[in-house]
Structure 1
Amino acid sequence: MAGPLHIPTRRIVLATGVAGAAGAFLSGCTGEEARPVRSGPLADVPEWAPGPGADPPGARRRGKVITAWATEAQSYDPAIGWDLHSWEAISTVLHSPLYHYRGQYDGPAPHAAAAMPTVSRDGRVYTIPLRRDARFHNGRPVTAQDYVDSWTRILDPDLASWAASFLFTIEGAEAVYEKKAEKVSGLRALDSHTLRIRLTEPDVLMLALLCQPYTAALPAEEIRRLGSSFGRTPVGTGPYRITRYDSKRQRATFRRFDQYFWDGTPLVDTVEFRWGIDYAMQLLQLNAGSIDILGEGLVASQAPKFTADEETRERFVHPVPVRGSQWLALNLKRPELRDRRVRQALNWAVDREQLMRVTFGLSDPWGCPFPEKLDRYQRTAKPYTYDPDRARALLREAGVRRLRLDFPHGSQDPWPLLAQVLQQQFADVGVDIELRGMGQTAFDQITAEGAGDIYGRHMYITLNSALENVSSNYTTGASYNYAGYENQVVDELTAKARTARTLEASNALLAQVEEELVRDAAGVYIGSMRFLAARRPEIRNYQMRGESGSYYDRMWLKAA
């Protein structure tokens, strides 16, 4: 980032039952459709939204797709939600950012924007033409002013949006966040369908940021009308609109938005998200056909049952390329953990090969902070490997005879199992770990408050650059830097990498950042993530990108 990032004062803003036992509280709700899909018209799709894959012949329009989740989403408000459940809803169901990544691997392409932006010679001014057929779910046309208002809302410190710091390269954004100004000087609606963005300095991530769901336009009048309910029943611009949010029955229903600006899509009439379904039950329901997609993909406890048998794997499993890291955050409020030698010792103490075996193909062992595979990136850092003798020697050198650390963990796989294996590995070098299991919401809350000595973290990169990882977790005051890590070298190199004019130039600086993070042992690096999506074979044209989630606008159901 161009400057220090700021930690939102609260990360989980929706109290339990914020929408109440909503039931069918929205107008236009209907009962559930029958599961079999027996007929329907052939789809006529003149053009697809950006994303992976294409339309195969024989696609039919109608039916219902049910996706299962273990937990309730934090929020369907794109300025608030960030967990996997929230992210899929805000990325591919409810909201439409200006740009989307095209294909399975390609970069940004126009989505709610009419074309790619015009960029000034100095790289600081982006002029973006907007589509004239984009509408909110309430029927109102989307205007350039809606983007100005939506991004200004993200910067409101009272909202405490986790995404606020990602906008700080926009001129005047930080002043609004700090309540020194009411308007973002770098945002302007030149007319109803032209948006101009002025940056404080060039930003190599700007186009990627404009692909993110939190930069989608929101209708200010609906935010005012719905108040706290907006997080559960938002009004967006995506292929589906929410028609029912039922806290008691733990499900949300989304219906096809007939005024969606990509003609002919979506194909499926109804999408339903169900939560509160444990991982074992998800497998039973997927096999029985009562659910269609596992929202979180396969987790460690499920993977063996679906990957061991080749026929089952071919029917249900859909591997998806992702760029993600797994590591252990170290709370630097503990005096012992401020000693770099202790942090290095913890890295040498981890047998990553053994650790990753219990993830059953969902992670590869990896001793660096950035994902193992990155686009146009030449790594110079040497990963940590397993060397318990070296770990013991470093602890002795640091004067640590026996270290006792508190290790909280949530219910999200694979951390409960990984924590047990790590406990054994650390004990072998003289570090005692006290495991403290809890619900995922409680875990998210206490880590955001800086509690716990050591705990698991993972992150998928959505901006096609390791800048997202370092800027979110390792720069001073970063949004996810709950551990309080500070390193001036990392801050300075990251700022330069952000303002580089090309991805290659940025990555050369990031390679130096990674070297410093390895040398300084800013965390305990354990794995590079993989993702195995799972869906019923009756779901046709299933496509997904790791940055966005399942593309519900183009999938269709095979007729019974």
Structure 2
Amino acid sequence: MRRLLVSLTVILSVIISCQQEPTGPPEKVQPEVRTGGVYRAPLSWSPRTLDPAFSTDIYSVTLIQQIFDGLVQFDQNLNVVPALATSWIVSSDGLVYTFNLRSNANFHNGRQVTAEDFVYSFTRILDPKEESSALSFFERLKGAAAYRNGESNEVSGLRALDAHTLEITINEPYAPFLPVLAMISSKVVPREEVERWGKDFGHHPVGTGAFRLESWEGNQIVLSANPDYHEGPPHLDRVVYTIYAGAQRQKILQEFLAERLEEAAVFGADREEMAQTTVYQFVRKPSLSLQFYGMNCTSAPLKDKRVRQALGWAINKEEIIREVFKDQFIPAETILPPGMTGYTPENAAYGYDPERAKELLAKAGYGPSQKKLSLTLLSASKSNVAQKELAMVAAHLAAVGVELQIKYETDWPTFEATLNSGRFQLYRYFWSADIPDPDNFLNVICGSDSLYNFMRYSNPKVDRLLSQALVETDIIKRVRLYREAEGMILEDAPMIPFMYWVFESVFQPYVKGLEISALGSPYIPLKKIWLDKQ
């Protein structure tokens, strides 16, 4: 107990001390907010869809966050605050949530938002014909099972008490339910527009947000200001996203330096230079994220836990992060990142120990006088830093007798389809929190029934612990359950935690109103940004 509480206290202290405000030219006097202008931002890949119910990648999230609203939202400190709901009441047993909605919120087509729109939007997620990626978050609604089984035409736990009062009832206490309602998938959509466009709604989105889709052609997506936004029109006229497929980091930075972009993420040597800038705003902030190498637990060589564990011991994460990323990121030895409730350094697993890796491989039947182990890793990024990183990973594995081939698939939908198909052995992946809750890592990435468990990992004991944690409302007991579950997952080794990302980007000096949370770039509220070019 004492070790757990001390760990949590240290983590919070570290995160608070590490958070930095933008550096750059000091402002002697805060200028008057200016309206107008175009904000130009890069996307590393093309979004698969702009339909909130089917979003599975951060590139979709980045745009959906600007186009749609939900009942609630996260503020800069990850508190749940009002969005389309002005207030809410939770029953004493934690099962009934009653939301009071704004009366001045309209969809981009001009129609007023009502409680029935939320009933429709959440019911749509539960529709068995839709196969929404958010299904697991809403299965806990009262009547969800009866609706999905065809026993009822409606979800009894969703009720519009009147035009501006929504009641949601769940089957059992669900600790992260309010944060779930702030997720991208929980945004409200207009039924008439979904029925008009069908499956293509994701390319013709209609929301309630500060910006609306103007065009999506080729490698460019343009959003225009919503003059009727319920919080008042945004300061910007437009937001123009340019897609640099395959995470062309160097090109993005060059475009930024040529003043053709307002922002750019920085890496490696460029990051060292930009961190010292007195011209641009350099922003660094810890994020709730994890880059890892997932392993297909149903693939013949990787079915053996000893092989998976050996790969974890064979990679020198510190060396790669030092040489390739210039210590920009933090070596990861757990699944939950620092700053996340339940982060437990004592669970740390798989440091660098090549001799131990060789021993495990030999026990699994691989070695100089045994079978040769050859594996293939799939990466969606082909940036310079990604190639250098993976070249070092391949070299470290070669040192313990494992041949690693790298396959690149820079089209995100194709990459994702390959993961869904199971036709791979290892993959490089980045996970950024949807909500600041440990369930969003351990259950979503590693739960047996999760759509994001591309590893095909399954452990009934882990599933039981994760299920217990979801309904446990005592924070200390929840942390204990997640701590035990994470320890089991790391022992089973379906993944190699590689590094925790830190948000580091540069912004043009005239960009004002930035608010950046630990959820990172996709959640920057562009409705608050304005440009001071004079």
TM-score by length of 1: 0.84
Please name the residue that 1:79 is paired with: 53
Deviates more, 1:449-458 or 1:395-404: 395-404
- Which residue of the other structure, out of 309, 317, 321, is the alignment partner of 1:356? 321
* 1:438-465 Cα shifts (integer Å, max 9, x gaps): 2233222211211111111221112112
- Which residue of the other structure, out of 488, 502, 508, is the alignment partner of 1:536? 508
Q: How does 1:177-192 map to 2 (within 5 A)?
A: 177=148, 181-192=152-163
Please name the residue that 1:63 is paired with: 37
Cα distance in 1, alignment partners of residues 194 and 30 from structure 2: 39
Cα distance in 2, alignment partners of residues 313 and 197 from structure 1: 51
Cα distance in 2, alignment partners of residues 366 and 543 from structure 1: 26
* Superposition deviation, residue 78 in structure 1: 1.1
2:236 matched to 1:268?
yes
* Superposition deviation, residue 146 in structure 1: 0.4
* 1:147-187 Cα shifts (integer Å, max 9, x gaps): 11011112233333211222122123344445554422211
Cα distance in 2, alignment partners of residues 273 and 309 from structure 1: 22
Cα distance in 1, alignment partners of residues 160 and 330 from structure 2: 46
Q: How does 1:379-418 map to 2 (within 5 A)?
A: 379-401=345-367, 402-411=372-381, 413=383, 414-418=385-389
Task: Give structure 1 stretches of 5+ with no counterpart.
Answer: 1-51
CA contact under 8 A between 2:336 and 2:441: conserved in structure 1? yes
Aligned-residue RMSD, C-alpha: 2.3
Deviates more, 1:155-164 or 1:233-242: 155-164
2:130 matched to 1:162?
no
* 1:41-99 Cα shifts (integer Å, max 9, x gaps): xxxxxxxxxxx99x9551111111111223221111111223222111111x1011111
2:449 matched to 1:484?
no
CA contact under 8 A between 1:477 and 1:484: conserved in structure 2? no
Q: Please tell me the residue identity of whatever aligns with 1:551.
A: P
Structure-2 change in CA distance of 1:199 and 1:314 (3 Å): farther
Cα distance in 2, alignment partners of residues 398 and 288 from structure 1: 54
Cα distance in 1, alignment partners of residues 271 and 463 from structure 2: 43
Please name the residue that 2:81 is paired with: 109
Please name the residue that 2:499 is paired with: 527
* Superposition deviation, residue 317 in structure 1: 2.4
* 1:350-373 Cα shifts (integer Å, max 9, x gaps): 111012231344421112122133
Structure-2 change in CA distance of 1:376 and 1:59 (3 Å): farther
CA contact under 8 A between 1:371 and 1:529: conserved in structure 2? no
Please name the residue that 1:251 is paired with: 220
* 1:478-537 Cα shifts (integer Å, max 9, x gaps): 111122111111101100111111444322211111111122212112211212133211
Q: How does 1:192-207 map to 2 (within 5 A)?
A: 192-207=163-178
CA contact under 8 A between 1:130 and 1:144: conserved in structure 2? yes
Give the secondary-structure state (helix, strand or coil) at the position aligned to 2:54.
coil
Cα distance in 1, alignment partners of residues 59 and 364 from structure 2: 43
Please name the residue that 1:339 is paired with: 304
CA contact under 8 A between 1:342 and 1:394: conserved in structure 2? yes
2:197 matched to 1:223?
no
Count matched residues: 497
Q: Please tell me the residue identity of whatever aligns with 2:178.
A: L
CA contact under 8 A between 1:379 and 1:511: conserved in structure 2? no
Structure-2 change in CA distance of 1:460 and 1:179 (3 Å): farther
Cα distance in 2, alignment partners of residues 192 and 145 from structure 1: 7
Deviates more, 1:405-414 or 1:315-324: 405-414
2:254 matched to 1:284?
yes
2:61 matched to 1:96?
no
Cα distance in 1, alignment partners of residues 116 and 326 from structure 2: 48
Please name the residue that 1:241 is paired with: 212
Give the secondary-structure state (helix, strand or coil) at the position aligned to 1:544.
coil
Please name the residue that 2:16 is paired with: none
CA contact under 8 A between 2:106 and 2:113: conserved in structure 1? yes
Deviates more, 1:397-406 or 1:169-178: 169-178
Cα distance in 2, alignment partners of residues 75 and 472 from structure 1: 20
* 1:182-228 Cα shifts (integer Å, max 9, x gaps): 42221111111111111111111101111112111110001122334
Give the secondary-structure state (helix, strand or coil) at the position aligned to 2:528.
coil
CA contact under 8 A between 1:306 and 1:316: conserved in structure 2? no
* Superposition deviation, residue 234 in structure 1: 0.8
Structure-2 change in CA distance of 1:311 and 1:359 (3 Å): closer
Cα distance in 1, alignment partners of residues 325 and 348 from structure 2: 24
Give the secondary-structure state (helix, strand or coil) at the position aligned to 2:403.
strand
Structure-2 change in CA distance of 1:208 and 1:314 (3 Å): farther
CA contact under 8 A between 1:316 and 1:534: conserved in structure 2? yes
Give the secondary-structure state (helix, strand or coil) at the position aligned to 2:119.
helix
Q: Please tell me the residue identity of whatever aligns with 1:272.
A: V
* Superposition deviation, residue 412 in structure 1: 5.4
Higher helix proportion (structure 1 or 2): 2
CA contact under 8 A between 2:38 and 2:236: conserved in structure 1? yes
Q: How does 1:35-50 map to 2 (within 5 A)?
A: none
2:439 matched to 1:464?
no
Structure-2 change in CA distance of 1:382 and 1:356 (3 Å): same
Cα distance in 2, alignment partners of residues 226 and 269 from structure 1: 26
- Which residue of the other structure, out of 526, 529, 532, is the alignment partner of 1:552? 526
Q: Please tell me the residue identity of whatever aligns with 2:226.
A: F
CA contact under 8 A between 1:325 and 1:459: conserved in structure 2? yes
* Superposition deviation, residue 379 in structure 1: 4.6
CA contact under 8 A between 1:411 and 1:440: conserved in structure 2? no
Cα distance in 2, alignment partners of residues 378 and 389 from structure 1: 26
Q: Please tell me the residue identity of whatever aligns with 1:530.
A: V
Give the secondary-structure state (helix, strand or coil) at the position aligned to 2:55.
coil
* Superposition deviation, residue 125 in structure 1: 1.3
Cα distance in 1, alignment partners of residues 258 and 137 from structure 2: 43
CA contact under 8 A between 1:378 and 1:508: conserved in structure 2? no
- Percent identity, aligned pairs only? 28
* Superposition deviation, residue 556 in structure 1: 0.7
- Which residue of the other structure, out of 283, 302, 308, is the alignment partner of 2:273? 308
Please name the residue that 1:211 is paired with: 182
Cα distance in 1, alignment partners of residues 428 and 93 from structure 2: 41
Give the secondary-structure state (helix, strand or coil) at the position aligned to 1:480.
coil
Q: Please tell me the residue identity of whatever aligns with 1:351.
A: N
Please name the residue that 2:97 is paired with: 126
Q: Please tell me the residue identity of whatever aligns with 1:321.
A: P
Cα distance in 2, alignment partners of residues 362 and 179 from structure 1: 52
* 1:127-157 Cα shifts (integer Å, max 9, x gaps): 1111111111111111111011011112233
